[in-house]
Structure 1
């Protein structure tokens, strides 16, 4: 799979209005966010503070799709231009209208100050989810997808969200967790809780720790990049490749999962995103091979 990944000439997959291909090898960067409003994106939000019942024991319905009475996700002005602010008060997501495959994505992210129950003691958490599919809210407050972790101190880690699987070269670092190591044997990771296995196995099978810590200090903008080619992907933090992943697939039928929605999480912490760009992938950029 690795040879296929690094040699492939891939076509960019998008549901509608694709960028016209040029005959040159250098494709243009295209903005996924217009910088002014949330056109081209939708939101899905669960209940505030993840409280599922009120004081009388009645079930509280999630806010759902494009209903955000608390202003959890909105465009704000920062000292470096407009950004999407996600407060984290209600867990959920903002997700692209279109589906994408075979691309190079880049964005900037930085932490705010606020933290909310049940994660008020941190670490601050969010995530860049990719290849999202299925109904919003079907996988906790998100949709089934692969995750490039955006968590304080852990940017670039991997988590499976919902009914997905992936293979990552990795080695154990203790009796619970595994860490990415290039050229190590491939190990399969999946959402063990959905497969109804033990909690201990769930932790061991889900999280993969990045190769190195490339995150900038709190309050500074971090450059996050994601490259997908077929069912393989690369996680990049501030110019450093921190993980390579292979054989992305759906857990139920083991069919390749190589395209889908792009998602930014709301997960209990204030976080800012901006400068979100994508470009059609013809070959893997030389510096990331």
Structure 2
């Protein structure tokens, strides 16, 4: 009887601990995507890259919000869970209906095989945009936002999209570009007006290379995390911090930019996203400080 009672206590304690862990997990992480449909998200799509007329010669206009005649955004069973498939045929995005501030976001992403103009020969490209604001489609079929680059071989890089600016510790990588380096002097990066002339100077003001390559081989799932706290952010790829960014702001007004939409890009390549979770935070998690 005594042995039975002890065993009962052990089982009861294990059960309580297990339930507590489940509860804590549920309280900490919230599904950003429900795995079944695109509730809580919107899409905005342009036309296929530089395609201005259809086969009958009719002028094409951007497909716009929540209109996807080519099935660019679909939900698929990948064999290891449901995922959002973005074909990349038309440039655009899906974006959250809600704005988010002070959060830790995590997701899984992997490349498909489809490659479309102007990415027929690579590199495969997409992006996790954050602090999105403004009119959908106003910036190359996206919206003003900061970008954690999701591009083959460049996962974790930074790009500004539209009316944004940010400071990043960086050093020269070569004669043009800069690369992230912890504790290096801060440099400001923004969407330079001279981009229209595609000058080296404009590109150098826009792109910052991540500290090192942490991406997994083609076809494997990558764990991408974004920590956005106040006007600072951290880019994390497969558990490794590849960049820290500071003083996020709107370029035109220098107003602090610390909240907005979360966005996944369609940019000429087939890509899959799944297991999107978000957690509200008041400080940077210990392992990433």
**Length-normalised TM-score, structure 2:** 0.88
How many equivalent pairs are there?
Answer: 265
**1:98-109 to 2 correspondence within 5 Å?**
98-109=98-109
1:108–1:273 CA contact under 8 A, matched in 2: yes
Structure 2, gaps ≥5 residues long: 1-23
**1:1-289 to 2 correspondence within 5 Å?**
28-53=28-53, 59-193=59-193, 199-289=199-289
1:192–1:198 CA contact under 8 A, matched in 2: no
The whole-number CA distance in structure 2 between the counterparts of 1:170 and 1:194 is 21
Offset from partner CA, 1:60-102 (integer Å, 9 cap, x none): 2000000001110011111101000000000000000000010
The whole-number CA distance in structure 1 between the counterparts of 2:195 and 2:51 is 25
Q: SS state of the match for residue 203, structure 1?
A: helix
2:195–2:203 CA contact under 8 A, matched in 1: no
Larger of the two Rg values belongs to structure: 2
Offset from partner CA, 1:148-194 (integer Å, 9 cap, x none): 00000000000000110000000011111100001111000000137
The corresponding residue for 1:9 is none
Offset from partner CA, 1:246-274 (integer Å, 9 cap, x none): 00000110100000000000000000000
* CA shift for structure 1 position 195: 7.4
The whole-number CA distance in structure 1 between the counterparts of 2:248 and 2:262 is 15
* CA shift for structure 1 position 198: 5.9
1:27–1:281 CA contact under 8 A, matched in 2: no
The corresponding residue for 1:16 is none
Say what the alpha-carbon RMSD is for the aligned residues. 1.8
> For residues 46 and 259 of structure 1, do their structure 2 counterparts lie closer, same or farther at Cα, with a shift above 3 Å needed?
same
